[in-house]
Copies of this chain bind each other. A is one copy, B any other.
């Protein structure tokens, strides 16, 4: 062992002890005849002092150290005269009597401090140096603690962690697969799993009863800040349960994590909001409930007064921003520009201020009497000082989504989206299907294995678009951290579902025959859910992107710039796989 102690553990009560520490040189300062070295490891920073009067050659050696040198120091723990209250080891220092350079370091390409001067590209290329920075390291420590607690909780509830294979079959439905050519089966390919969905269902058929797995999944999609080609799922499935059983158990897990990881005791049951309400009141299936500001529909109140924008609208709705009546014209213009951005796509925005005397002053006063405006005010329960913001459009769902963006923007501006405050809810009763303009057919909103609500099954034949599913998402602070459903366990119902989704019986058999066959041998009722670990860790860490809770993430082109992967293969490897490149643009 190169050390007796870590750089994070020595305290005043250790004064007088002879110790050996090892770590990285964080900083060197010379003051008078003294040289101070801040020595860093994963556990903390300890000050080491070299005294020129006592041992000049040793001090000289210390003076030649550079940042990020790896050193081993032996010395005596001593009380500091100049105590540092900001760090746990700040009351002591090590008076060194020997120094060994274990490994020198070139000057790092960016400073290894909490706030670094390194840009994203440089940090990713030298990720092993970036990970030395405390904020990044803390994210990985948090991730470790979260997975430990998830496992502890699920183990205590009788779940078995069972590994499912990474080399599976490709299913062209859904997102794009990453594929792996098989050398032993030339011309054939494995796929990397997008999720272990069908395999965990098979584990239920096999009687495993309660399964979980923290597992890598893969999707070959175009990337953005919260997507990576490989990501990690907390994947769970249970038998002989109904929706409430699953929701209760996993709400318990969420509360356990909040308590053990963030020290937050959530005593109230999470809200359970039907999908239809989430869309109606928040314009989103993952509403941020840290603040209310729910939508108020104004069709009855504002239609028919000659304002053609509203008169022709299929939807008019607004939000009430408490205390924002003082917004200047410029601020309101910014909001109008915000909703008119192409990503949001509103045509314009109407606003109304509630004056100190209770009267309402709006941007469309010429069309509306104070009486109508007062009715509107009442609909919002608005008070003097509030600002009402209204959008309208000819597609209700689209307009709601625009209003959702405006609501989130106002929440941010009003400081209502504190990263250390958490609002959790379940969105339930999702529609079974959604219409795809691209495919010109109904698609499964969750996935084709989702169980329709018993009371809606009759509508599968008559009005499939209205069928609701036993599907649920857990949403925290506007982020969908997980979701799941009760699954179909009846092979006939599963076959019907594939039929509605446009599969021929042959295609269904070819792709999912193994599952439908399994259902013929006594499949129990079952259901489950999956959490996105990366997202949940980011949320607990207060990060905007999932990248910084992943040790070695890929960039937006799917590249690992540190490893310089992917890369060309040797011809020999291609030959063994009996593959040839077929490049279009070369």
- A170 and B579 contacting across the interface, CB-CB below 8 Å: no
Partner of A42, one of B207, B245, B566, B585: B207
For A41, the chain B residues whose CB sits under 8 A away are 207, 209
- A208 and B140 contacting across the interface, CB-CB below 8 Å: yes
A299 within 8 A of B: no
For A569, the chain B residues whose CB sits under 8 A away are 170, 179, 189
**A106-B520 CB under 8 A given contacts A169-B566, A179-B573:** yes
A415 within 8 A of B: no
Partner of A179, one of B181, B220, B242: B181
Mask: chain A, 122-163; 1 = CB below 8 Å from B; 0 = not: 000011111110000100110110011001000100001111
- B166 and A203 contacting across the interface, CB-CB below 8 Å: no
**A179-B179 CB under 8 A given contacts A105-B522, A514-B564:** no
Residue among A155, A168, A567 having the largest count of chain B Cβ atoms under 10 Å: A567
Oligomer: number of copies: 2
What CA separation (Å) do A83 and B583 show in the bound complex? Answer: 73
User: Which stretch from A383-391, A446-454, A548-556 is at the chain B interface?
Assistant: A548-556
- B565 and A179 contacting across the interface, CB-CB below 8 Å: no
A185 within 8 A of B: yes
For A560, the chain B residues whose CB sits under 8 A away are 165, 167-169
Q: With A22-B524, A103-B525, A169-B560 given, can you name 10 additional A-B contacts, CB distance below 8 Å?
A: A70-B524, A163-B216, A166-B216, A169-B566, A172-B573, A176-B183, A189-B566, A189-B569, A514-B563, A575-B582
- B218 and A166 contacting across the interface, CB-CB below 8 Å: yes
- B203 and A551 contacting across the interface, CB-CB below 8 Å: yes
What CA separation (Å) do A40 and B207 show in the bound complex? Answer: 9
Label chain A's interface by main secondary structure.
Answer: loop
For A164, the chain B residues whose CB sits under 8 A away are 551-552
Partner of A106, one of B144, B208, B521: B521
CB distance from A276 to the nearest CB of B (A): 27
A186 within 8 A of B: yes
A178 within 8 A of B: yes
**A578-B582 CB under 8 A given contacts A164-B551, A165-B554, A557-B185:** yes
A341 within 8 A of B: no
Residue of B nearest to A244 (CB): B1
**A568-B176 CB under 8 A given contacts A42-B207, A103-B522, A207-B137:** no
Range for the number of chain A residues in contact with chain B: 35 or more
In residues 193-249 of chain A, which contact B (Cβ within 8 Å)? 199, 202-203, 205-209, 216, 218, 220, 222, 229-230, 232, 240-242, 245
A518 within 8 A of B: yes
Residue of B nearest to A522 (CB): B105
Residue of B nearest to A513 (CB): B564
- B581 and A208 contacting across the interface, CB-CB below 8 Å: no
Q: What are 30 A-B pairs with beta-carbon distances under 8 A?
A: A2-B240, A42-B208, A70-B524, A102-B525, A103-B490, A105-B520, A128-B521, A130-B206, A131-B208, A137-B206, A151-B151, A164-B552, A166-B166, A166-B192, A166-B218, A168-B565, A169-B563, A169-B567, A170-B569, A178-B180, A179-B573, A179-B577, A184-B220, A184-B557, A188-B568, A199-B551, A203-B551, A216-B216, A514-B563, A579-B582
Mask: chain A, 488-524; 1 = CB below 8 Å from B; 0 = not: 0110000000000000000000000010001111111
